[in-house]
Chain A
Amino acid sequence: DAGVIQSPRHEVTEMGQEVTLRCKPISGHNSLFWYRQTMMRGLELLIYFNNNVPIDDSGMPEDRFSAKMPNASFSTLKIQPSEPRDSAVYFCASSFDRGASNEQFFGPGTRLTVL
């Protein structure tokens, strides 16, 4: 299995631009999580989906952030417009079902720099 796939691995953009991060979960997993990691705030859960449906988006910082999961094999996290404070590493993770004891498998992350 290829694991969780994220693209791009690195993104550099200018303030005000739209940014779209992409994630392909492990086949057969039906829960998907988006995290943001910064030195100041550590690892934060932004949103998670179960069976393609958003279950909890309370971690999404503001309306500039949106996430979709149109099918079981693809999800996007969009930031529009981007700001320098959005600079972080964004991780996508997937797990088999939504059980709390289930291991989450993380992708390699997208390092976003907003100038």
Chain B
Amino acid sequence: AQSVTQLGSHVSVSEGALVLLRCNYSSSVPPYLFWYVQYPNQGLQLLLKYTSAATLVKGINGFEAEFKKSETSFHLTKPSAHMSDAAEYFCAVSAKGYDKVIFGPGTSLSVIP
């Protein structure tokens, strides 16, 4: 079975500050990990994904995430927040041989001017 937890349902950062959104996963097999972003009144779109290649994954809009097997984590970071980063962020897990992607509960990011 696979699962995802996201620490913090809501995170606020100042514009220009570091963004850190936490994700921990559980998987009985090597996982595939994803971060999706959802802007208001839109569907989800992929930010980045880890599929067992490099552990540091770079995505769109300056985001990156690092896969840490020992910590079962896949935290999302961005060095400097922009107002346009305000959105809902979802971490998700899947694995080879599994068709379904399991989404976490989401973290709402607010950026304060």
Contact = CB atoms under 8 A, between A and B. Distances in A.
Interface stretch (A40-48, A61-69, A73-81): A40-48
B100 A56 contact: yes
B51 interface: yes
Nearest to A109: B43
A43 B99 contact: no
A101 B49 contact: yes
A100 B44 contact: no
Interface string A24-66: 0000000100000000001101001010000110000000000
Given A43-B90, A104-B101, A4 B43 contact: yes
Interface residues of A, number: 21
Nearest to B104: A42
A91 B32 CA distance: 22
Interface of A: 4, 31, 42-43, 45, 48, 50, 55-56, 91, 93, 98, 100-101, 103-109
A106 B43 contact: yes
7 contacts: A4-B43, A43-B103, A48-B100, A100-B95, A108-B42, A109-B42, A109-B43
Interface centre among B46, B51, B98, B103 (most CB of A within 10 A): B103
A93 B43 contact: yes
B101 A56 contact: no
Contacts of B14: none
Contacts of A98: 99
Contacts of B42: 108-109
A103 to B, nearest CB: 5
Nearest to A31: B99
Nearest to B51: A101
Given A43-B90, A56-B99, A106 B106 contact: no
B44 A91 contact: yes
